[in-house]
Amino acid sequence: MINLEDMIGTMVFSSSGNYIVGASERQNAEFQKKCQNKIDINLRDCVELTCVKEMVLTSDNYNDIMQVKGMPGSIFGDKFGYEMQKEITNYMKSYYDGETGKEDIENYFYECCTSMRVYLAQTRQTTGTNEKDNTQILSQIYEMFAKENQRMANYANYQEGLKINGEYGGDKQVVDWCYYNSDYYYQCEETHQFLKDITQKMAEQWSIPAIDTEDVEKKSKLTLDGNFDFNSGWNHHFRRQHSCSSIEDESLAPPKGFKMYYKENHNSSGLGMVAIWAGENKKEIDVPFQIIPGSLRGQIYNVSDLIKFSESETTYWEEYNTFCKNLDIFTRSYAYNCKLY
């Protein structure tokens, strides 16, 4: 006995309109468009069954088709999932570019959950009503959104850094610089919490237990380029890829209005350069790197040893100095020899 109302993913064709059970508005709109283009329903040859709620299906072949195969390890492991992952990336990039807002992200998040559940039900990897399966769907979609939030926050920071590097005469092909803007840290953190909140809203809609987002992140395999916070992603890029700077304590939040730009090779004298913005105040100083035989000490500096702010310069001078102490800048030779890359 099959209850048609429970069959998420079922395609319904009728004179009153075609739709997919449990699909999002966009998914149904796309389905209806395909129907108009590919299916010419002749109402004289079909009938809408408006009163049928359940029916007995005895075909052995049908029962084989309807058998649930079980959920995949990752819902993003096939073409459908890969395309969704790319679209999530594009949505988060658009968000950090200022082209879309939180409401757009929320709506698309819900759409991803709904569309993925319909797809997995149609491919008989779940019924669409199984609590454990729905928990996996929601958990992995949260994981992907949260990861792309970190990546796109760092990408936006990097793109802004490229412009600053160009203003200082840097070649974008030479990766001897780093840039940190605390605005992206706070936007990343705020959006991270926002994604947690809408995940719980979705769990309530699906009548499943609240998602343990901390556990999802802890068990995630998407951590080669940092965790789900801005600072760890920044460290991956500028410590391990550009190999010129490092945040010592990734859990330490920067003061608002903090920015840093550092370049290893600033002029023909071989000096580096670091600039720090504390709100509207800016300090800039050469970095006197030294090549000392048998030692790497002259190739690394803590930023607080080069630049300090006073009470007369900015209200939050202590916070700025504390975060400067959390940042090291060094030559790529130092990074290579200390295996920081």
pLDDT tens digit at each of 341 positions of the chain: 455 555 765 556 555 556 566 566 666 665 556 666 655 544 444 445 444 444 444 444 555 556 889 999 999 999 999 999 999 999 999 999 999 999 999 999 999 999 999 999 999 999 999 999 999 999 999 999 999 999 999 999 999 999 999 999 888 888 999 999 999 999 999 999 999 999 999 999 999 999 999 999 999 999 999 999 999 999 999 999 999 999 999 999 999 999 999 999 877 667 899 999 999 899 999 999 887 777 777 899 999 999 999 999 988 999 999 999 999 999 988 888 887 76
Beta-bridge partner residues of 54: 3
Give the pLDDT of residue 212: 98
Distance CA 237, CA 97 (A): 20
Q: Do the beta carbons of residue 180 and residue 254 sit within 8 Å?
A: yes
Q: Do the beta carbons of residue 71 and residue 127 sit within 8 Å?
A: no
Distance CA 190, CA 85 (A): 22
Is-above-0.75 flag for pTM?
yes
Give the pLDDT of residue 173: 84
**CA nearest 108: which of 153, 156, 149, 158?**
149
Give the pLDDT of residue 55: 43
Distance CA 93, CA 84 (A): 14
Distance CA 199, CA 110 (A): 9
Q: Do the beta carbons of residue 303 and residue 329 sit within 8 Å?
A: yes
Distance CA 14, CA 23 (A): 16
Distance CA 133, CA 248 (A): 40
**CA nearest 260: which of 160, 333, 170, 192?**
160
Tokens of 308: 């300090």
Give the pLDDT of residue 37: 62
Q: Do the beta carbons of residue 245 and residue 262 sit within 8 Å?
A: yes
Strands 272-278 and 327-330, bridge-based pairing: unpaired
Q: Do the beta carbons of residue 124 and residue 69 sit within 8 Å?
A: yes
Alpha helices in 97-181 (DSSP H): 102-122, 131-167
Q: Put the strands of the sheet holding 245-247 in their side by side order.
A: 245-247, 327-330, 300-302
Give the pLDDT of residue 247: 98
Give the number of other Cβ atoms within 10 Å of residue 66's Cβ: 13
Tokens of 158: 């990097």
